[in-house]
């Protein structure tokens, strides 16, 4: 009798299971499970000539694995990270392995609740931005509770209470925040089709950290607020945000009790064929972290975007600019023009031109009678020291059916003293030229070359670079390049920094193998930089998603 029951029971289970599997296959979704992973490893050979640091482990590896589950209104996921040990240039606190991110999320109609880790940004991030930039080792994920609520169309409210990730543990502070965003044209039906679109938003963030100082009375609750607006009319758009933070003495600002302020204004014009953008920025004492003793890239609560254009050609990254949280004032502008085929500059296939300029100075500081305030600074007064300046010109032209040319000229002025924290005063002025040329042999085979040159009388003087990239669409690509510091004053330091790599891509998977003698430099993404020391060796990267 029992055997019969068991047999029937098992058969039923098998029918249920196979039916579900069948349905899963028919809908052929990523089922309810998805994720991605990446591994970056490098083998380091000694190379004292280029000042490559000694790596006793010889082989270093960074890796992560994300797994997400979604079913109806419920979502959960986790990430496992492994640094055994972390690659050179990553903070050595990234050591070991473990689950560093885990969350559960439920969405029902207008409300979304997240428990565990989350990322979010209020406005432009001036008082709150939690994000990940894996290439930089930046991950200031929050860990707590987050609620998002849409009470009415066009209105979004967000609130959270959390601690912040600090490598494999958490920072000492507690952060809480609230944000409201109202897009008036979506709220009021009467405004829905109006040419003028207006939105406003406001946020308040506060952090709590216990005062353990034996010598100072430190504020334990530090609040910051921000107001923003977006206004568009036809082809014009204005985006502005102002932030203010109460006294926040920290190691970064030498424990002064002055307020912090930031202002970001963007105006742009976009009509098919022509685009223009102008932005202005002021930052004054806006270092905001969930540990007043934190330095480097850890425990940022806010994000102060750099105002200058992100440059990507190798030699243009020798002198990269990063936002100075203690104080800076900057302005930038760009125009983009599409010269259509047949027009005067267009030629047969069309030409695209872009021109940009930016400048960043310090803020004018005046002494105050009360020492603890540090200094005073008139909101509209620009300091006298030029931190950074650039002018770039880019011409993008299709010469024939199979040939494309991009010509770039960049003029840079860079204050090495302030930006890299060096002691000797040194302002570097550089002129950079890049020719980026693509030739297609047929629909599958192509070759691309880059010829770059950097001219300067300061620092390491002149550089030249040649790159060749041969691709067989869609799977293979082989690249080789050499950066040569031929102008170096010391003939023994006129090194060739060469690099050869091969990349195989199939669908979501990419595998790269390479060998490089790499120069020391800064790797910057979005105004946040990571210093990478010189190295010599093999590297391998595997990345995929499912």
Partner 1 sequence: MGLSFYNTMKKLRILFVAAMLTNVAFAQTTATKSDVGHASVKTLEGKEFNTSAISNDGKPFIIDFWATWCKPCVAELDAINEEYVDWQKETGVKVFAVSIDDSRSMSRVAPYVAGKGWDYTILLDPNGDFKRAMNVNSVPHTFLFDGTGKLVTQHNNYSAGDEDNLFEEIKKLSGK
Least Å distance, CB 110 to partner 1, is: 12
Give the integer Cα–Cα distance in Å for 65 and 35.
Answer: 7
Residue 365 sits in the site that holds partner 1 (CB under 8 A): no
Q: Choose between 238 and 455: whose C-beta lies nearer to partner 1.
A: 238
Identify the helix (H) or strand (E) that includes residue 187. Answer: helix 184-187
Question: Quick one: which of 46, 92, 98, 273 contacts partner 1 (CB under 8 A)?
Answer: 273
Residue 15 sits in the site that holds partner 1 (CB under 8 A): yes
Interactions with partner 1, residue window 49-88 (CB under 8 A)? 66, 68, 70-72, 75
Give the integer Cα–Cα distance in Å for 88 and 137.
Answer: 11
Q: How many CB atoms lie within 10 A of CB 60?
A: 21
Binding track, positions 104-143, relative to partner 1; x by CB under 8 A: ---x-----------xxx--xx---x-xx-x---------
Q: Choose between 104 and 156: whose C-beta lies nearer to partner 1.
A: 156
Residue 41 sits in the site that holds partner 1 (CB under 8 A): no
Q: Choose between 144 and 199: whose C-beta lies nearer to partner 1.
A: 199
Q: Cα 458 to the chain's mean position, in Å?
A: 29
Q: What are phi and psi of 379, to 5 degrees?
A: -55, -40
Residue 328 sits in the site that holds partner 1 (CB under 8 A): no
The neighbouring-strand residues paired with 134 are none
Question: Quick one: which of 209, 279, 285, 462 contacts partner 1 (CB under 8 A)?
Answer: 279
Give buried/exposed letters for 249-263 (b at 16+ CB in 10 A, else e).
bbebbebbbbebbbb
Least Å distance, CB 542 to partner 1, is: 11
CB 424 within 8 A of CB 417: yes
Residue 26 sits in the site that holds partner 1 (CB under 8 A): yes
CB 180 within 8 A of CB 202: yes
Q: Choose between 79 and 292: whose C-beta lies nearer to partner 1.
A: 79
Say how many CA atoms lie within 13 Å of 5 toward its Cβ. Answer: 2
Q: Choose between 326 and 471: whose C-beta lies nearer to partner 1.
A: 471
- What DSSP string runs through 322-348? ---TTEEEEEEEEEEEEE-TTSTTTTT
Q: Considering only the stretches 286-294, 444-452, 453-461, 492-500, report the one whose residues sit in contact with partner 1 under the rule CB under 8 A.
A: 444-452
Least Å distance, CB 26 to partner 1, is: 7
Least Å distance, CB 395 to partner 1, is: 12
Least Å distance, CB 388 to partner 1, is: 14
Residue 295 sits in the site that holds partner 1 (CB under 8 A): no
Q: Choose between 422 and 545: whose C-beta lies nearer to partner 1.
A: 545
Largest CA distance in the chain: 95
Q: Quick one: tokens of 108? A: 């029902």
Least Å distance, CB 306 to partner 1, is: 6
Strands (DSSP E) contained in 340-426 are 351-363, 382-400, 403-415
Question: Quick one: which of 212, 254, 312, 425 contacts partner 1 (CB under 8 A)?
Answer: 312
Binding track, positions 167-206, relative to partner 1; x by CB under 8 A: ----------------x--x----------x-x-------
**Quick one: CA dihedral 279, 284, 289, 295, positive or negative?**
positive
Give the integer Cα–Cα distance in Å for 204 and 222.
Answer: 11
Q: Quick one: tokens of 141? A: 């994920």
Strands (DSSP E) contained in 84-220 are 96-108, 111-118, 120-121, 129-130, 132-133, 138-139, 142-152, 155-166, 169-170, 174-183, 196-208
Give the integer Cα–Cα distance in Å for 531 and 366.
Answer: 33
Least Å distance, CB 100 to partner 1, is: 14
Within 8 A by CB and 6+ apart from 93, the residues are: 166, 167, 168, 298
Interactions with partner 1, residue window 399-438 (CB under 8 A)? 438
Q: Choose between 36 and 417: whose C-beta lies nearer to partner 1.
A: 36
Q: Choose between 55 and 224: whose C-beta lies nearer to partner 1.
A: 224
Question: Quick one: which of 29, 221, 400, 426 contacts partner 1 (CB under 8 A)?
Answer: 29
Residue 351 sits in the site that holds partner 1 (CB under 8 A): no
CB 129 within 8 A of CB 233: no
Identify the helix (H) or strand (E) that includes residue 109. Answer: none
Least Å distance, CB 427 to partner 1, is: 24
CB 494 within 8 A of CB 486: yes
Give the integer Cα–Cα distance in Å for 321 and 69.
Answer: 39
Count of residues near partner 1 by CB under 8 A: 98
Least Å distance, CB 243 to partner 1, is: 12
Residue 99 sits in the site that holds partner 1 (CB under 8 A): no
Residue 293 sits in the site that holds partner 1 (CB under 8 A): no
Query: Closest by alpha carbon to 306, among 526, 531, 121?
Result: 526
Q: What angle do CA 540, 543, 546 make, to 5 degrees?
A: 155
Q: Are strands 142-152 and 155-166 parallel, antiparallel or unpaired?
A: antiparallel
Q: Choose between 354 and 365: whose C-beta lies nearer to partner 1.
A: 354
Q: Choose between 35 and 223: whose C-beta lies nearer to partner 1.
A: 35
Residue 14 sits in the site that holds partner 1 (CB under 8 A): no
Least Å distance, CB 135 to partner 1, is: 8
Binding track, positions 465-504, relative to partner 1; x by CB under 8 A: ------xxxx--x-------------------------x-
Residue 507 sits in the site that holds partner 1 (CB under 8 A): yes
Question: Quick one: which of 255, 336, 407, 409 contacts partner 1 (CB under 8 A)?
Answer: 336
Interactions with partner 1, residue window 213-252 (CB under 8 A)? 230, 232, 237, 239
CB 132 within 8 A of CB 120: no
């Amino acid at each position: 009798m029992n055997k019969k029951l068991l047999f029937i029971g098992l058969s039923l289970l098998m029918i249920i299971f196979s039916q579900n599997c069948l349905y899963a296959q028919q809908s052929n979704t990523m089922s309810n499970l998805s994720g991605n992973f990446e591994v970056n490893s490098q083998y380091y050979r000694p190379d004292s000539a280029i000042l490559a640091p000694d790596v006793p482990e010889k082989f270093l590896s960074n890796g992560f694995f994300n797994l997400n589950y979604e079913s109806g209104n419920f979502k959960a996921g986790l990430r496992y990270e492994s640094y055994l040990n972390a690659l050179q240039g990553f903070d050595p606190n990234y050591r070991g392995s473990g689950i560093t991110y885990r969350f559960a999320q439920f969405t029902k109609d207008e409300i979304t609740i997240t428990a565990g880790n989350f990322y979010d940004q209020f406005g432009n991030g001036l008082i709150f931005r939690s994000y990940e930039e894996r290439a930089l080792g930046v991950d200031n994920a929050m860990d707590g509770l987050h609620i998002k609520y849409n009470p009415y169309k066009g209105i979004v409210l967000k609130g959270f209470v959390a601690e912040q990730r600090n490598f494999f543990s958490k920072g000492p502070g507690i952060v809480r925040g609230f944000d409201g965003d109202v897009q008036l044209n979506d709220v009021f039906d009467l405004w829905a089709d109006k040419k003028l679109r207006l939105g406003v938003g406001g946020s308040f963030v506060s952090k709590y950290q216990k005062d353990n100082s034996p010598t100072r009375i430190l504020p334990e609750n530090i609040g910051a607020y921000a107001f923003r607006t977006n206004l568009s009319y036809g082809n014009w758009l204005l985006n502005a945000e102002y932030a203010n933070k109460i006294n926040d003495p920290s190691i970064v600002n030498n424990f002064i009790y002055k307020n912090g302020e930031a202002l970001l204004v963007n105006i742009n014009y976009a009509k098919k064929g022509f685009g223009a953008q102008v932005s202005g920025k002021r930052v004054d004492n806006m270092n905001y972290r969930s540990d007043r003793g934190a330095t480097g890239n850890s425990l940022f609560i806010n994000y102060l975007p750099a105002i200058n254009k992100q440059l990507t050609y190798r030699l243009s990254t020798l002198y990269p600019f990063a936002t100075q949280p203690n104080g800076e004032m900057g302005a930038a502008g760009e125009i983009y023009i599409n010269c259509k085929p047949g027009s005067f500059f267009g030629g047969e296939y069309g030409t695209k031109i872009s021109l940009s300029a930016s400048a960043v100075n310090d803020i004018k500081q005046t002494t105050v009678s009360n020492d603890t305030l540090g200094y005073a600074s008139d909101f509209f007064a620009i300091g006298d020291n030029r931190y950074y300046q650039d002018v770039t010109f880019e011409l993008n032209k299709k010469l024939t059916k199979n040939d494309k040319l991009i010509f770039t000229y960049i003029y840079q002025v860079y204050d090495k003293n302030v930006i890299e924290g060096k002691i000797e005063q040194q302002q570097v002025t550089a002129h950079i030229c890049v020719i980026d040329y693509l030739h297609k042999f047929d629909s599958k085979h192509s070759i691309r070359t880059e010829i770059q040159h950097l001219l300067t009388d300061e620092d390491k003087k002149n550089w030249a670079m040649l790159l060749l990239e041969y691709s067989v669409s869609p799977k293979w690509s082989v690249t080789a390049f050499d950066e040569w510091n031929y102008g170096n004053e010391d003939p023994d330091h006129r090194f060739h920094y060469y690099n050869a790599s091969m990349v195989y891509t199939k669908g979501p998977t990419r595998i790269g193998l390479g060998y490089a003698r790499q120069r020391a430099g800064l790797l910057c993404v979005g105004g946040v930089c990571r210093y990478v020391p010189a190295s010599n060796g093999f590297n391998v990267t595997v990345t995929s998603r499912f």
